[in-house]
Structure 1
Amino acid sequence: MTMANYTLRDEIRDYWSARAATFDQQVGHEIFSEAERQAWRELFLRHLGPGENRRALDLASGTGVISHLLDELGFQVTGLDWSEPMLARARAKAEARGARIRFVMGDAERTLEKPESYDVIVTRHLVWTLVNPKAAFKEWHSLLKPGGKVLIVDGDFVSDTLVKRMIRAFERLTGRTSPTSHAPDAMRETHERILRQVYFSKGARASEVMDLLRQAGFAGINVDRNLKRIHREQARHMPLLKGLERATQHRYAIVATKR
């Protein structure tokens, strides 16, 4: 393969594939307490209601953390990811639990799933990495049945804040990087190079995401910024400054309906 044929999407896929082995070691990816797990359940119930065997699509499902939460709530779950190493770990978890979750390889922007085949779509920390969110949102709209809902959990992880500046100052003074930083350096450089090229390179603000959802045909769009319980439980497993950074970032859940 020549570099001319190696696209940004290829680089994003390969980046997350390389991170699959350690993905579940990081707070915000895996869930490390029952209290955080319950906070996620409450968020899903608040916006999606109980599963009742409805069909749910977990986009960019990674190692299947959200897929398993949806399964526990009674949804009939498909997890879609385009990283085979991520899917291998997700399938192993499902087998260990005896969970009947369907995991498939696919691009979240072009899923190849059947139109109007899902009651709900859930994404966690996907939108900020999208190359073409306008096309992706239209695709997701087409996958939902009339009355179906999409729930997007995401945030602006790019914009500079006082807490980020404090962390950088601490790292300069101590010569240490945070344990939650991307490592090794080559991986950090890849992450930064990808971030410069994605649509939300300046940060995925809730207002812009909502505008793009409207353009894609969604209605009843609401933003929920009450994620404090999730962030509080995550912070218990993070260094002090990183926990403070998480609590002060522009993070949100957006729910929208296909009419």
Structure 2
Amino acid sequence: MEKSKIINYWDKRADSFSKNKRAELKSTHAQKWITEISHITPIKPGMKVLDIGTGAGFLAILCSEQGGDVTGIDLSPDMIQSAKQNADRYNHDIHFQVMDAETLLFNDETFDLVISRNVTWLLPNTTLAYQEWLRVLKPNGTLINIDANYGQDSFTDYQSLNADHAHHTLGNNMLVESEAIKQSIPINHQPRPQTDIGILKHLGVNDIHLDTEIYLRIYSEQDAFYNPTPIFLISVTKS
């Protein structure tokens, strides 16, 4: 899959995605996410945070609210524009940049926390991505990756979701396009999170925390933000 197709898809989704993320910021989900992150590493004032695949800036804004010095990157220029608008809306000074998650333009050991949500499934080279994320992490810094085994589900078969779910606003053409992108990414044909853990071990990371119960806490009800595919959370501390 050419990355231009991925960029084009998310550019088209930027407006509706941004509206959904603004609503999520006002929902009980926002506090749930901060609670989960804080259990792993509390965000302290001045802490340097990198939000990979920031989208409309949801996690970036949450981390900034906790006092973090936040940078958010995304491959989609329209998403970055939405993120900037949302940060301004909530009066947060966040550094947003268009950047490839597999080729980070930051120096080694720059960030205290590197965090990502629902991004790895879109990356053609998962090993390179994890390698880059670990590279820009400070010693004793934390990497948190939240994703799901989306390859086992079909995005065109979510009819059972509540009518107010964001997925229903996409239309069939966008769902088909999303499914085609997903099928073109190698990680989506591998078992997850086992493959992720194998990659991290190959990169020399031994202290790996895996949480496969997080979806029960975050998605305890089928609201507009419900994810029908069970998410997992992987966190590591860089030695």
Does TM, normalized by the shorter one, top 0.5? yes
Asked if 1:120 corresponds to 2:113, the answer is yes
Partner residue in 2 for 1:13? 7
- Which amino acid is the alignment partner of residue 230 of structure 1? I
Q: CA, structure 1 residues 114+204, in 2 after alignment: closer, same or farther (shift >3 Å)?
A: farther
Partner residue in 1 for 2:197? 210
TM-score, length-scaled by structure 1:
0.81
Q: Which of 50, 53, 66 matches 1:57?
A: 50
Asked if 1:256 corresponds to 2:224, the answer is no
Instruction: Confirm or deny: 8 A CA contact 2:151 2:183 kept in the other structure.
Output: no
Q: Counterparts of 2:75 and 2:7 in 1: how far apart (Å)?
A: 7
| Runs of at least 5 residues in structure 2 that lack an aligned partner in the other structure | none
| Runs of at least 5 residues in structure 1 that lack an aligned partner in the other structure | 1-6
Partner residue in 1 for 2:150? 157
Determine what percentage of the aligned residue pairs are the same residue.
25
Worse overlay, 96-105 or 30-39 = 30-39
Deviation at 1:229, TM superposition (A): 2.5
Q: CA, structure 1 residues 11+104, in 2 after alignment: closer, same or farther (shift >3 Å)?
A: same
Deviation at 1:59, TM superposition (A): 0.4
Deviation at 1:103, TM superposition (A): 0.5
In the TM superposition, 1:168-179 aligns within 5 A as: none
Q: For each residue in 1:132-188, what CA deviation from the matched residue of structure 2 results, as whole angstroms up to 9, or x when unmatched? A: 001111111110111111101111123159xx97x66x79xxxx9x86247333322
Aligned length: 235
Deviation at 1:213, TM superposition (A): 1.4
- Give the root-mean-square deviation of aligned CA atoms: 2.6
Q: Counterparts of 2:23 and 2:232 in 1: how far apart (Å)?
A: 18
Partner residue in 1 for 2:167? 180
In the TM superposition, 1:96-111 aligns within 5 A as: 96-111=89-104
- Which amino acid is the alignment partner of residue 197 of structure 2? M
Q: Counterparts of 1:160 and 1:22 in 2: how far apart (Å)?
A: 22
Q: Counterparts of 2:179 and 2:153 in 1: how far apart (Å)?
A: 14
Q: Counterparts of 2:108 and 2:41 in 1: how far apart (Å)?
A: 20
Partner residue in 1 for 2:188? 201
Instruction: Confirm or deny: 8 A CA contact 1:130 1:198 kept in the other structure.
Output: yes
Question: 1:53 aligns to what SS in structure 2?
Answer: coil
Partner residue in 2 for 1:3? none
